Amino acid sequence: MKVETEKESGQGGAGFAKRRRPGELAIRGFLFFCGALSIATTIGILYELGKESFLFFGDEEVGVVDFLTTTIWQPQVGGFGIWPLVLGTVLISIIAMLVAGPIGLAAAIYLSEYASNRVRGFFKPVLEVLVGIPTVVYGFFALTFVTPLLRSLFGASLVGFFNVLSAGVVVGVLIVPLISSLAEDALRAVPDSLRQAAYAMGASKLEVSTRVVVPAALSGIAAGFVVAMSRAVGETMVVTLAAGASPRNFTLGDDSLFGYILNPFQGAQAMTGYVVITASGDLSYNTIDYNSIFAIGLTLFFMTLGLNSLSRRFVKRFQQVYE
């Protein structure tokens, strides 16, 4: 009887495993469709950018070498060096990370290691509210509050009305919730046994947080930083309103490195800012100015793709798996 019962139960289990589940098949099909759609959309974007960029680089006045090596961006007079726009984008992004990195990581450590469940439940949604604010509001905030504040602190003669520092600070505020949320998730994923072992060795709360939990969650924190950097690189309205609408053209060797080229108190145009301003103008199709926005968009695409690839490699390299 016992053997027959086991056989019956085994047959029943096998029958259960072979049962058709149309709902599960539909869900799998839907998930596959969503993944395929996202990949197809990315390929379509890359195709359109590449097709229009080919028209730009196919013009006899434009050369790929000049585009990648010269430092003057003035399409109206034949200057097609991308580096002034890249410089503005990179300067704003670095300032944003210098602002958002320490604040976002400190907020994540507090919410993960110090705050009670009640406090965390209150402050985390408050932080994430910043993400929902339209970026144009941040742009006017930078223009009407941060810039006058900087001009009053450092002097109106030193700080221009449009400047990189103001845009970078506000972009940093914008991406703080992104860093804090991703970093907190990484910190909370660290097993509690590591914390208890450190406490058993006599470590303080601060030592456990900074010397045990943060190193253990380093891969996730770094991935959050890179994703936030990508967000800062792609920011549009803040840099358009606060940083200025003129590329910071420069000549290496002639212009001062810190007095002009890397000066955060003067204006500079970012890549996204140029695309917005140029695309909103009255341009004819297949002109150099029109096609240039696609070449810049393609460059921006590869910059963000490189950052995201770096994030994935960093996570794979330093990820720690706990049982």
| pLDDT over 60 at 97, yes or no | yes
Backbone angles phi, psi at 255, to 5 degrees: -90, 145
Residue in 160, 213, 222, 167 with CA at minimum distance from that of residue 191: 213
The per-residue pLDDT for range 110-135, each reduced to its tens digit, is 988 888 888 888 888 888 888 888 88
Whether the Cβ atoms of residue 301 and residue 49 lie closer than 8 Å to each other: yes
Q: Dmax of the chain from CA atoms? A: 97
The per-residue pLDDT for range 182-214, each reduced to its tens digit, is 899 889 888 888 888 888 988 888 888 888 898
Domain locations in the chain? 65-318
Distance, CA of 120 to CA of 134 (rounded, Å): 25
Distance, CA of 313 to CA of 152 (rounded, Å): 44
- pLDDT attached to residue 96: 95
Both tokens of residue 55?
Answer: 């028209």
- Confidence band of 61 (pLDDT split at 50, 70, 90): confident
Amino acid sitting at position 2: K
Q: What Cα–Cα distance (Å) separates residue 303 from each residue in 90, 194, 200?
A: 10, 37, 46
| pLDDT over 70 at 322, yes or no | no
- pLDDT attached to residue 17: 55
- Confidence band of 320 (pLDDT split at 50, 70, 90): low
- pLDDT attached to residue 18: 60
The per-residue pLDDT for range 153-184, each reduced to its tens digit, is 998 889 989 999 999 999 999 999 999 988 99
Lookup result for tokens 């943060």: 214
- pLDDT attached to residue 66: 85
- pLDDT attached to residue 323: 57
pTM recorded for the entire structure? 0.86
- Domain 65-318, classified CATH 3.20.20.370, yes or no: no
Average pLDDT over residues 279-294: 79
- Confidence band of 7 (pLDDT split at 50, 70, 90): very low
Mean pLDDT score across all residues of the chain: 85
- pLDDT attached to residue 100: 93
Higher pLDDT, 14 or 232: 232
| pLDDT over 80 at 16, yes or no | no
Count of C-beta atoms within a 10 Å radius of residue 283: 15
| pLDDT over 70 at 44, yes or no | yes
Residue in 144, 142, 149, 148 with CA at minimum distance from that of residue 173: 142
Average pLDDT over residues 264-269: 91
